[in-house]
Amino acid sequence: MSIVDQTTIRRRLTGLTAMDRSMTAGGFTLYAPQTAEGRVMLVDIDGQPAHQWQMPVRPGRDAVLLANGNLGYNGSHATSAALYPAWDLWHGGDFYEATPEGEIVWRHEDIFQHHDAQWLANGNLLYTVAAPLPADKAARVTGGDPRKDGADGVIQSDIIREVDRSGNTVWEWRIWDHLDPADFPIHPNFDRRHWPMVNGLSVTKDGLVLMSLRTTSGVIAVDRATGKVVWHVGHDVVAQQHTPVETETGSILVFDNGNLRTGSTSPFSRALEFDPTGKVVWSYTDTLPMSFFSPYMGGCQRLWNGNTFICESAFGRLFEVTPAGEVVWEFVIPEFGEYPQPLGTFIGGSHNSCFRAHRYRTIPWL
């Protein structure tokens, strides 16, 4: 057996790898490694552990700090719906709120939840669930690879659901009531098990719900009151993007994965900021573009000093750049592990990935 570590990322530097203390925004970074068996980590600006939670289940997706100081956690549900082969890679559905001491004070389960969720200021939870497309709508799905269709012919789609603290649904929005699948074709290399796969959502200061469409590439904004789609930015601007969030100026910041970027033969990722018309107002790519690339997951956050915090999810690289694109802080997640079975046969190797990470200026209870 070779004495050389066969995990390429781990052979390189992990932990804090770079910092310009005079230019970083400072603060604390929160992340939940996908394969760390439920450990959620908080590190200070020097990359040193500041706090840790041990949650009951591994993360399905994200962990955030709530306004009350507690942890909001989207865990991987042990008996999720298992809708198609890749489902276990991106479902969550076992939500917990935990105190800094680890006491669970709230739990909500939804076996159809996948990808993103937002913990709202009023205490409610907003998240995406999968549901079968009605047959007449499914017949209008175009693109994708029909050779990968399921034997049952079912195509899953997306519902955005908001629940209160008692678990009651207080708002629901079905995407197929507002978008025509024929106008949003699936990219050729994707299967057609899920259209259009909402992999990210957030709420703007004006109450619009932003949604990221993974398999068709695009971001839409939905008026909660009317249900109407008020704007759409498509695949001519973004490519398999994640986590759309509004900035203080009203522009939209996304992690633009770039798997199938229009006009590009070499994939690369970027942090991308655009206005609701689709006009790009800022972007960050590496000076060697292919050096920054996450084919799945990813997130961006505009910080209080104008810098942008980026999560290059697939390789566990968390870093901060200035408006001029200078890297001033970088941390590579040092926790590695394998996905549990049966996922381990679907996505092999040892991983330090996380769905998203968050930077906080202060932690009052620390």
Q: List the structure tokens of 104.
A: 């669970």
Q: Is residue 109 part of a domain?
A: yes
Q: Kindly state the average pLDDT of the residues 53-72.
A: 97
pLDDT in tens, 159-183: 999 999 999 999 999 999 999 999 9
Q: For residue 116, what are the domain limits?
A: 15-360
- Residue 55 has a pLDDT of 98
Return the SS3 of 130: strand
- The number of distinct structural domains making up the chain is 1
Structure tokens that stand for 361 in this block: 């200026």
The answer to whether residue 10 is domain-embedded is no
Q: Which residues contact 168 (CB under 8 A, 6 or more apart)?
A: none
Nearest one of 111, 142, 117 to 200, comparing CA atoms: 117
User: Are the C-beta atoms of 62 and 116 separated by less than 8 Å?
Assistant: yes
Average pLDDT over residues 326-330: 96
| Chain segment 210-247, per-residue pLDDT in tens | 999 999 999 999 999 999 999 999 999 999 999 999 99
Q: At residue 264, what are phi and psi to the nearest 5 degrees?
A: -120, 135
d(CA 207, CA 34) in angstroms, rounded, equals: 31
What are the tens digits of pLDDT across the range 305-325?
A: 999 999 999 999 999 999 999
Tell me whether residue 6 is in a domain: no
E-strand stretches of 86-228: 93-98, 104-109, 113-119, 125-132, 156-163, 169-174, 198-203, 208-213, 218-223
Q: Does 139 map to a domain?
A: yes
Model pTM score: 0.96
Q: What tens digit of pLDDT does each residue of 181-217 get?
A: 999 999 988 889 999 999 999 999 999 999 999 999 9
In a domain, residue 193? The reply is yes
| Tokens 């068996």 -> residue | 37
2 in a structural domain: no
**Above 80 in pLDDT, residue 56?**
yes
Nearest to 90 by CA among 104, 102, 80, 101: 80
Pick from 172, 72, 58: which is nearest to 119 by CA? 72
Confidence of residue 147 (pLDDT cuts 50, 70, 90): confident
> Is residue 4, in this structure, part of any structural domain at all?
no
CA dihedral 185, 187, 190, 191 (to 10 degrees): 20
Which amino acid is it at 130?
A
The candidate with the shortest Cα–Cα distance to 252, out of 292, 206, 290, 294, is: 206
Residue 116 belongs to some domain of the structure: yes
Q: What is the CATH number of the domain that holds 241?
A: 2.120.10.30
| Phi–psi pair at 21, nearest 5 degrees | -60, -30
Instruction: Determine whether 220 is exposed, middle or buried from the number of CB atoms within 10 Å of its CB (0-12, 13-18, 19+).
Output: buried
